[in-house]
Structure 1
Amino acid sequence: MNLKLRSIRTGHRSAVSRLIKKFEDVQQEENGTVYTEDLSNILDSLKRKQDILRKLDEDIIQELDDGDIETEIVEADEYAFNLEEEYDKEKFWKTESFGIEHIDEKTTRKKVFQVLDLYQKTSYHDNRHFATLSRKEDHTPSPVNKEIAKWRKENVMIMMFAPSWIDCYDFKCPEKPHRKIRANWLCNLMEENYSCMLDLQQTTFKESCSFASDFVRPGQKYVISGRRKNMNCSNERYQPFRLYSSELSTCVFEKSSCSAEGQIIFSEGSTKEDRTCRCDYSRGYTFLSRPKDLCYCTPNEADCSCYIAACPESRSLSTDYECKADFQSLGICKPIEKNGKRHPYDTTAGEREFVKSSIRRKERNNISIKVMLLITVMLVSFCCILIIVVPVTLPTTETGLSNTFFGV
């Protein structure tokens, strides 16, 4: 059985060798024309043969002795590798034969010449692949850069189908650590005048060394709209201090999202302040650490983490995050508004001040209650002392009086 399978495999391998020879002949047509359709047909036949040979190899290995298995595997792998090389060539030839006559008409003339130049720097002739490296203009074409040639061709194809990819990287202003280096290179001796601002008309960032450094007040940033002007920070950012044009390009801080487990937005903040967060008491969440303000927490000042509180049965969290009976669930903090879905409660400055004053009033009331309790305890203690001390002293006094009365 083993000999029969080997004979069958030898026949298929001979057929594969003839296909590979035909493959090479198609590549080396004297007129230089590459018939990609013929190459594809040959490769399809090779792939079918490869599947048959793989199945034969598996059947043969099952009947071999342990000592012969390693040799058989090495031989089969080597043959499979040679076939993969042919598939690789076919893929490359498909790319090599791809023309440039179908470039999008809207592509600019400059881009056409860029693509054409890139295409010409990669070629195949004299049975060798030639490619130059784009990072080095005077690089001598190498006849062994097959992989580079393949990548270059595939990139050219991508640019032909989507030429806009050439300009997909927009300029971005340097971050603060690199800003001084960029300013020194661009503005030379006037690096303090360097600025990088968003041009609202062209929606791109522009650098300049023409204007002296200046600042805008907290809550604002500089932009260009015909000329340099200041505008408020976006809804998602805030700026708590003066912003110098030479230092930054946008408002510094991003607002907190209040999106951690159990968190919701309490206040949207402003262009100068961060958002404040609260825990969703309606779902049983309370603050992990009691915040300075009872009703909300400021993320950049404290830990605003929430957790599910375990209230006793028949009790639930109030708006003040205390376990109370349902009819006592309201408190100082405003309830979460619900209109079909949960909404964050956005407070005004006056409402926040009302909350603070309510908390202070509650704390004063608590202090008054504690003082009254202390006074009550002191009075009770004093009365107890009198009750204990007076009975001890009275008999002595009465005896003295009696003796005096009777002349003893």
Structure 2
Amino acid sequence: MWKLSKWILVIILTCTNGYDWKCPHSSQWNFTSRSFECLNKNIYVCLFDASESNGLKAVFTGKCGHLDVSREGFKYILAPDLNQVPCTASRYQPFTFTTDGNSQCVLSKSLCKGSGQILANNGSSLTDISCRCDYRHNYDYVIPPKDPCACKPSEEDCSCYIRKCEDDKVMIADYRCMKRVDTILPEDIKCSIISRIIPPEKTDTVDKIQLQSVGSSKEARKNMIFS
């Protein structure tokens, strides 16, 4: 019965991989490892395969391999050998990445989508994004964050509400209400004036770059996805 289940799983994974297959969830990693009969010191590894992918299709290769650990802010892909690349724009990795149970950087970046929220900065491959309240429309923080210029949604409550100033006043970048006739020097404002910031892309831009770098030198490999 176990052998039958194993072959059914492999058949399902192989067929699905031909269309839009993704690596298993980390909770299913050990089960998948057993189905691949990864014995001794080998573990199940599943990573984005740049040498098998193209501009229209992303291929993830699953196989038995050795445990590998990369530094913070990076993940592994196959190109065709193991290669460290930074996390994609929409994810971050503040601790070491391991190929045991992971196919991409672990944490998804937050979204500044709450009422009155706007993006303060995109963070990095090590850190989450930061949000702030849109003072231009009289939004202020419900709970003042440690840094009013860049609230961290993964650590703080960055909720906003409308706080109207008096009729003769306007809210400035550090959320103070100042009289319209007062002269305010830029150096007197603690937070920067809001400028347009492009949010992290949902698409895997790093993988696309990796594809471009290997595309010109790609050699046709006849090995099956699961070797």
TM over 0.5: yes
Q: Which residue of 1 aligns with 2:145?
A: 291
Q: Distance in 2 between matches of 1:193 and 1:269?
A: 33
Which residue of structure 1 aligns with residue 168 of structure 2? 314
Separation of aligned partners in 2, 1:208 and 1:168: 16
Aligned equivalent of 2:39: 189
Matching of residue 230 in structure 1 with residue 84 in structure 2: yes
Match of 1:249 in 2: 103
- Change in 2 beyond 3 A, CA 1:344/1:279: farther
Q: 1:345 & 1:225 partners in 2: Cα distance?
A: 29
Distance 1:168 1:269 in 2: 35
Aligned partners of 1:225, 1:271: CA distance in 2, in Å?
20
Q: Rg: which structure is higher?
A: 1
Residue 54 of structure 2 corresponds to residue 205 of structure 1? no
Residues 7-406 of structure 1 mapped to structure 2, 5 A cutoff: 169-190=19-40, 192-203=42-53, 204-209=59-64, 211-326=65-180, 327=182, 331-337=189-195, 343-344=196-197
CA offsets, 1:115-147, max 9 Å, x none? Answer: xxxxxxxxxxxxxxxxxxxxxxxxxxxxxxxxx
Please state whether the residue corresponding to 1:180 is helix, strand or coil.
helix
Deviation at 1:255, TM superposition (A): 1.1
- In the alignment, the residues of structure 1 paired with residue 145 and residue 75 of structure 2 have an alpha-carbon distance, to the nearest angstrom, of 32
Instruction: Give me the whole-angstrom Cα distance separating, in 2, the residues matched to 1:212 and 1:168.
Output: 25
Tell me the residue number matched to 1:39. Answer: none
Partner SS, residue 292 of structure 1: coil
Q: 1:197 to 1:168 in 2, by over 3 A?
A: closer
Shift of 1:168: 7.4
Q: Which amino acid aligns with 1:287?
A: Y
Distance 1:172 1:275 in 2: 26
1:281-316 CA distance string (max 9 Å, x none): 011111111001121200000111111112111111
The 2-side partners of 1:262 and 1:316 are apart by 17
Using structure 1 for the length normalisation, give the TM-score: 0.41
> Which structure's relative contact order is higher, taking Cα pairs within 8 Å and 6+ residues apart?
2
- C-alpha separation in 1, matches of 2:132 and 2:99: 35
Q: What is the aligned length? A: 175
- Please, what TM-score do these two structures have when normalized by structure 2? 0.71
Q: Which runs of 5+ in 1 are unaligned?
A: 1-165, 338-342, 347-408
Identity of aligned residues (%): 34
- For 2:152 and 2:110, the matched residues in 1 are separated by 9
State the AA in 1 paired with 2:29. R
Q: Which structure shows the bigger proportion of residues in strand conformation?
A: 2
Deviation at 1:199, TM superposition (A): 0.5
Quick check: 1:318–1:328 contact (8 Å CA) kept in 2? no
Contact 1:264 1:344 (C-alpha < 8 Å) held by counterparts: no
- Give secondary structure in 1 for the equivalent of 2:32: helix
Q: Match for 1:208: what amino acid?
A: K
Query: CA 1:177–1:237 in 2, change beyond 3 Å: closer, same or farther?
Result: same
Larger helix share, 1 or 2: 1
Contact 1:183 1:192 in 2 (8 A): no
Structure 1 residue 345, shift from structure 2 partner: 9.2
